[in-house]
Amino acid sequence: MAKPKVKENIIQDDFNERVRRLGLSDETLIGLYRTMCTVRHFEYTADRLYAEGKVHGTMHLSAGQEAVAAGTRLALQTDDYLINHHRGHGHFIAKGADVNMMMAEFLGKDTGYNHGRGGSMHIADFQSNNLGANGIVGGGIPQAVGVGLALQMQRRKEICVCIFGDGASNEGVFHEAMNMASLWKLPVLYICENNKYGMSMDVERVVAKLPIAQRAEAYGIPWSTVDGNDVIAVYETMKNAAEHVRAGSGPYFVEAMTYRYFGHSKSDRNLYRPKEEIEDWKQNRDPIMRFTKCLLRSEILGEEQAREVNAQAEQVILKAVEYAEASPDPDISTLMEYVYA
Amino acid sequence: MPIPFIMPKFDMDQEKATIIAWSKKEGDFIKFDETVLTVETEKVAIDVPAPATGTLARILFKDGDMVPVTKVIAYILKEGETLADLPPANSTPLPPKPEPFDRAQGKAVPVPQTETAAQAASIIATPVAMRMAKEEGVDLSKVTSSGERITREDVERFLASKKSVGRVTVAATPAARRIARESGIALETVAGSGPRGRVQSADVSEMTKPIPAPGIHEAEVIPLTGIRRTIAERMQQSFQESPHIALTVDVDMTEAENVRKRFNAQAEKLEQPRITLTALIIKVVAWALVRNPYLNASFNGDSISLWKEVNIGVATAAPQGLIVPVLKSADKLGVSEINLRLTELTDRARDNKLKLEDVHGGTFTISNLGMFGIRQFRAVINPPESAILAVGSIVRTPMVVDENDRIEVRPVLSLTLSADHRVIDGIVAARFLSDLVTGLESPSMLLY
Amino acid sequence: MPEMTYLEAIRQALWQEMKRDESVFLIGEDIGVYGGAFGLTHGMLDEFGPERVRETPISEATIVATAVGASLLGMRPVAEIMFMDFVLLALDQIANQAAKMRFMFGGRTSVPIVVRMPGGSGTGAASQHSQSLESILMHFPGLKVVNPSTPYDAKGLMLASIRDPNPVCFVEHKALYKTKGDVPEDDYIIPIGVAEVKRAGRDLTVVANNIMVMKTLNVAKRLAQDGIEIEVIDPRTLLPLDIETIINSVVKTGRLLVVHEACQTGGWAGEVIASVVGSPAFDYIDAPVRRLGGRDIPIPYNRGLEKFAVPQEADIENEIRALVGGAL
């Protein structure tokens, strides 16, 4: 496998130059940092709540993948549509979801996004064009064709971003959808968030030819790969891809290389990967750590301020937990609601 | 231990009773068998006697309350006992003898939850078995354990054995079962016309049609529940559906009384029961019915059935309400035999021991209220019959006895016939009454 | 009232609704110049153009998914699955996605799509092009399953299905396409979830769907000459099922037979019968409650074998005579 080209000092070397070139203000950069911190706190808090027995179901945490969420969001317009996958907390938060409603849904409360019907895996927010996460691996990929088709038929400027994991690229609908999206030149940005494992399966054991993104070639879709733990690189890649899509040139495919810290879900005991590997990613390639270093070195952010932003992010999440815990469960009398419109 | 005073069970299938009034209050000294309260079942009001002597304490149900039978309604403190000896107010009181009853229908009968904590403690059972027993209403003391303690399997086995006892084995469609249930017909007695003898709805419907079927052998015991309801329905139906006409005649009973005296003198010698007036009237009525077949008939809507048998029902007051035992083939019997059978039937009616066949198959009914001094009354026809004879009291009345207008005091009986005008013309009814007069005024011709 | 075929009635409904509502579009395989495998969409490409008569690659799952995605943005897609058998390729999108989205997302969205699919045997298309899979689709709350048996019902139900805010599986029967009936030119709706008593009778209730309605009505005519009056109920919608109409009928007749072409085992007749037997109608049942489904085999190719794999009029008649005559 072509290992993701992660050099620890790459950001430091050309960080300032890239930021200037991309026209990113200090405020924007601090915003990216804040988003990543918020996602990180959400995920670790979710894990704690689970350990405390406050979570009824399962969850899929994206700690370690925050840069993909934050960088992608920055490259999009507010009204762009999002079709998400099951490990989707980060993308929702980055897109501006209300963490109170997310946390309430996570705890199965009536005040949650789905009135306690969906849980962690199905958060959706139709008001902000977040069309929901999907519990079926790859289930959203062909739906993005429909969203793209509707946008095209309605002559609209928004695009659809469809995010899925490395595992989903082996589903049949992946190939049907790539073909149709390309055929009809639909405004869909496909993002494969390759965190190296589909549950326990290493991508190298299940994908015949890497990178996954080169599969787009077969369907005439332009593609690229990016270091998914470099938030600026993610932003730059997504920005270019989104421009391509928004211009009406058809879909674009990006594969972002990243890594998840937690197991696939709560029942995962990480028997399929060495502890050293997890530690290596955490110690040497963590997206927040890398970005923080850059911000500090470039003096965009002081250490004190960095701590403060991080603490604020944590507070937001703790408040969300308070909100969720104080919220009522859905009334049993509403059991049969929401089945039919 | 104070004595629990339970709501007694009076009838076989009685489940509850309503308290009409307590005649004693808490603190009153009551003696064994003395009336303490009056309750009402579906049929009657009954005085409830004290089960023991002592002081009445803690009345648990007030006037007007409906109480399941065997439920504790109060306690009786024995000498030396005080209120402190009563069981805790919120504990489930233990009736002296919970009486689980089986019903032939195989219905699961909920046994009242009767265990006290003490009793429960003396039974060794697993928690699961105890929970099951509670849920299923099983008295654990009746469950045999296969080991040291009663287990779930033991309870399950017990439940299974209960179920198999009363299982209905008659093959019948659900519709047939419903009609049978609604009409009080035992499915066992219905001949099924369906495949493998399965009872179809039409088979049961056939039996509910107003055709008396002499020789029916339906069940061991008359279902007594709601007898009042049955009477009400039948009377209403009769009065609404059949146009009643009523005709009255007076009968000079001089000769009949003479005959009865002679019979009774003989009966005394033979140590037989005395001939009742009713028996005599039945004899005459049976004879007149043979002569007037339209009085011994049923209206079927589009036809009239004239019956071969003359089966005379006699309205009888029984403890549970009005009942009409039927004297089969009365026209074939002598007056002594009628008398014997009638006595036997009315005795059984009073003892609540009538069989279904005793009350089915009547073709004509006699109702006698004469013994109560009723001079004359009109009765409602007992469907599907077409007529009923109301017998009043014998009153000594001055009457003209010959062509010279000589007046004598004679015993006069007033008979009123109610007849279904759809079947019986006025003149037909009149002829029948005329025959009755003849028969009763010259009884010798019938009796010897 | 003009007479037209079942196929023409569906086409007219699609046509009129596309004229009326710009958000309606068709999507499926070969639905353009070819007019679909059965010619149902014939002429519609010329009228509405390739954008609204959207021809696709052979990708059933993504055809339905595209409809789902587009519906989230306010479109009213009508997807065609060329043969009902192929719906199995798209079942994730129908059962896991379309049916559940509204519920999973707490009622904050709806999925107003129609998935048309011709099922049924009789065309010699063998095992993978002849199935009646409507029973499978009934097992997914959130879906509606519509199943017309006449041209009149087909048009009214199609208009109702497109306007319904929920995902609707519109199950057609290939052998009904050429059957004729009176169909008004006007816009009219047959409400989803309402059964119709196609023929009133007192002796036995037959519940049948699509082509079995026609067959049962033919049988009913013959039986009437012998004094047997059967009541024929067409549920028209299988999910939600109008069980009340069926229960009321059974209370009246005391006898029930359910006839469908779908394989008997696991077929929807079982659902109907269980509902009826468990209802107050139980106390009115006066004969074994029976079902007559397709044989539990894949549909064979040979004409004779194919015919006897599914209930024929003689089978229906025999069943009814046995039930009414007291042989069962």
- What pLDDT sits at residue B107? 39
In this structure, is residue B107 part of a structural domain?
A: no
The conformation of residue C92, written as its DSSP 8-state character, comes to: I
Domain hosting residue C283, numbered range: 196-325
Q: Are B198 and B146 contained in the same domain?
A: no
Assess: ipTM above 0.90.
yes
- What pLDDT sits at residue C59? 97
Given a cut of 60, is residue A7 above it in pLDDT? no
Give the mean pLDDT of chain A: 93
Given a cut of 90, is residue B221 above it in pLDDT? no
Q: Are C55 and C86 contained in the same domain?
A: yes
Of the listed ranges A255-264, B108-117, B145-154, the least confidently predicted one is B108-117
Count of pairs with CB atoms under 8 A, one residue in A, one in C: 149
Q: Are B185 and B159 contained in the same domain?
A: no
Q: Are C57 and A176 in contact (CB under 8 A)?
A: yes
E strand map for C123-186 = 144-146, 168-173, 180-182
β-bridge pairing A252-257 and A223-227: parallel
Residue type, B156: E
Q: Are B57 and B204 contained in the same domain?
A: no
Q: Are B294 and B439 contained in the same domain?
A: yes
Give the mean pLDDT of chain C: 97
E strand map for C56-210 = 76-80, 114-119, 144-146, 168-173, 180-182, 196-199, 204-208
- For B245, residues 6+ apart whose C-beta sits below 8 A from its C-beta are B418, B419, B421, B424, B426, B429
The conformation of residue A218, written as its DSSP 8-state character, comes to: G
What CATH number is associated with residue B50? Answer: 2.40.50.100
Give the mean pLDDT of chain B: 80
Q: Which of A189, A182, A146 is nearest to A164 (CA)?
A: A189
Q: Are C61 and C89 contained in the same domain?
A: yes
The conformation of residue B145, written as its DSSP 8-state character, comes to: P
Q: Are B146 and B42 contained in the same domain?
A: no
What CATH number is associated with residue C143? Answer: 3.40.50.970
Q: Do A113 and C96 touch (CB under 8 A)?
A: no
State the Cα–Cα distance between residues B415 and B438, nearest whole angstrom.
13
- For A148, residues 6+ apart whose C-beta sits below 8 A from its C-beta are A159, A160, A181, A184, A186, A187, A188, A251, C69
In this structure, is residue B217 part of a structural domain?
A: no
Of the listed ranges A219-233, A312-326, B6-20, the least confidently predicted one is B6-20
Q: Are C61 and C150 contained in the same domain?
A: yes
- What pLDDT sits at residue B90? 61
Task: Choose the CATH number for A10-326 among 3.40.50.410, 3.30.70.360, 3.40.50.970, 3.40.50.720.
Answer: 3.40.50.970
- For B240, residues 6+ apart whose C-beta sits below 8 A from its C-beta are none
Domain boundary among C182, C207, C239: C182
Buried b (16+ CB within 10 A) or exposed e, C146-169: bbbbbbbbbbbbbbbbbbbebbbb
Could you report the per-residue pLDDT of B24-46, keeping only the tens digit for each?
A: 999 899 988 788 998 877 656 67
Higher-confidence residue of C211 and B160: namely: C211
> Per the structure block, which two tokens stand in for A204?
């190298």
Could you report the per-residue pLDDT of A290-299, keeping only the tens digit for each?
A: 999 999 999 9
Count of pairs with CB atoms under 8 A, one residue in B, one in C: 31
Q: Are C249 and C143 contained in the same domain?
A: no
Q: Are B53 and B31 in contact (CB under 8 A)?
A: yes
Q: Are B306 and B365 contained in the same domain?
A: yes
- What pLDDT sits at residue B228? 64
Q: Are B129 and B273 contained in the same domain?
A: no
Given a cut of 90, is residue A265 above it in pLDDT? no
User: How far is C277 from chain B, CA to nearest CA, in Å?
Assistant: 10
| Rounded-to-10 torsion of CA B174, B176, B182, B188 | -110
Could you report the per-residue pLDDT of A179-238, keeping only the tens digit for each?
A: 999 999 999 999 999 999 999 999 999 999 999 999 999 999 999 999 999 999 999 999
- What pLDDT sits at residue B232? 74
Domain count, chain C: 2
User: How far is C57 from chain A, CA to nearest CA, in Å?
Assistant: 7
- What pLDDT sits at residue B95? 45
Given a cut of 90, is residue C167 above it in pLDDT? yes
Given a cut of 70, is residue B97 above it in pLDDT? no
Partner C, chain A 42-81, Cβ-Cβ below 8 Å: 81
Rounded to an integer, the average pLDDT of B113-133 is: 62
- What pLDDT sits at residue B88? 78
| Rounded-to-10 torsion of CA B310, B315, B321, B323 | -10
Domain ranges of chain A: 10-326
Rounded to an integer, the average pLDDT of C77-104 is: 97
Of the listed ranges A1-15, B93-107, C72-86, C107-121, the least confidently predicted one is B93-107
What CATH number is associated with residue B154? Answer: 4.10.320
What CATH number is associated with residue B244? Answer: 3.30.559.10
Split at pLDDT 50, 70, 90, the class of A60 is very high
Q: Are B351 and B272 contained in the same domain?
A: yes
What CATH number is associated with residue C271? Answer: 3.40.50.920
Across the beta sheet with B66-68, what order do the strands follow?
B45-49, B35-40, B16-22, B66-68
Could you report the per-residue pLDDT of B130-185, keeping only the tens digit for each?
A: 777 777 777 787 787 777 778 878 888 777 766 544 444 788 999 999 998 888 88
In this structure, is residue B117 part of a structural domain?
A: yes
> What is the SS3 assignment for B426?
helix
Q: Peptide bond before A142: cis, by omega within 30 degrees of 0?
A: no
Domain hosting residue B142, numbered range: 113-167
- Mutation for A interface: C62, C91, C146, most A CBs within 10 A: C62
State the Cα–Cα distance between residues B214 and B218, nearest whole angstrom.
11
In this structure, is residue C298 part of a structural domain?
A: yes
State the Cα–Cα distance between residues A193 and A86, nearest whole angstrom.
12
Q: Are C220 and C314 contained in the same domain?
A: yes
Q: Which of B431, B438, B122 is nearest to B446 (CA)?
A: B438
| Rounded-to-10 torsion of CA B219, B225, B227, B228 | -170
Q: Which of C254, C284, C326 sits opposite B194 (nearest CB)?
A: C326
Given a cut of 50, is residue B222 above it in pLDDT? no
- What pLDDT sits at residue B100? 40
DSSP string, A169-205: GGSHHHHHHHHHHHHTT--EEEEEEE-SEETTEEHHH
Domain boundary among C133, C158, C182: C182
User: ∠ CA(C216), CA(C293), CA(C114), 5° rounding?
Assistant: 85
Split at pLDDT 50, 70, 90, the class of A67 is very high
Domain count, chain B: 4
User: How far is B175 from chain C, CA to nearest CA, in Å?
Assistant: 4
Q: Are C263 and B158 in contact (CB under 8 A)?
A: no
B194 touches chain C (CB under 8 A): yes
- Mutation for C interface: A84, A113, A173, most C CBs within 10 A: A173
- What pLDDT sits at residue B448? 62
In this structure, is residue C190 part of a structural domain?
A: no
Given a cut of 70, is residue B114 above it in pLDDT? no
The conformation of residue B20, written as its DSSP 8-state character, comes to: E
Higher-confidence residue of B352 and C21: namely: C21
- What pLDDT sits at residue C7? 98
Q: Which of B86, B70, B89, B122 is nearest to B3 (CA)?
A: B86
B15 CB neighbour count, 10 Å cutoff: 16
Q: Are B280 and B366 contained in the same domain?
A: yes
Rounded to an integer, the average pLDDT of B407-414 is: 92
Could you report the per-residue pLDDT of B312-338, keeping only the tens digit for each?
A: 999 887 776 778 889 999 999 888 889
User: ∠ CA(C78), CA(C84), CA(C87), 5° rounding?
Assistant: 75
B252 is catalytic: no
> What is the SS3 assignment for B126?
coil
Question: Are chains B and C in touch, 3+ Cβ pairs below 8 Å?
Answer: yes
Residue A336: burial class (beta carbons within 10 Å; 0-12, 13-18, 19+): exposed
